[in-house]
Amino acid sequence: MVNEDMIRAALKNVVDPEIGLNVVDLGLIYGVDVANEGKSININMTLTTPACPAGPEIISQAKQEVTSLRSVYPEIEDIKINLVWTPFWNPSLMSEDAKAELGYF
């Protein structure tokens, strides 16, 4: 059965084109819920800003990456990406690797 770690690994393939880092390390993934014996996946994510011009592309790529898991986990039926703004994203949410990459200390 698919689990949160597998979904987060797939989401690491989604790169913010303006920043050049993946959405997981940027801290844009607020929550992953696998329910109904792996049939339903709900992802709460945000963007670095509500005016992010790459937002639709990032969300589309996130859905595509998680959908690609169906080739290994055909039980996945429903994938929802929920765009949330609370809490508002800030650089402190980034992984230590992302902070180092961007020179944020």
Tell me how far apart the terminal alpha carbons of the chain are, to the nearest angstrom.
Answer: 38
Burial of 28 from C-beta contacts in 10 A (0-12 / 13-18 / 19+): buried
pLDDT digits (tens, 9 = 90+) for 57-96: 999 999 999 999 999 999 999 999 999 999 999 999 999 9
Q: Domains in the chain, please, with CATH? A: 4-88 (3.30.300.130)
| Helix (H/G/I), strand (E/B), else coil: 40 | strand
Are the C-beta atoms of residues 15 and 21 closer than 8 Å to each other? yes
pLDDT digits (tens, 9 = 90+) for 36-47: 999 999 999 999
Question: For all residues of the chain together, what is the average pLDDT?
Answer: 96
- CA dist 59 and 63 (Å) reads 6
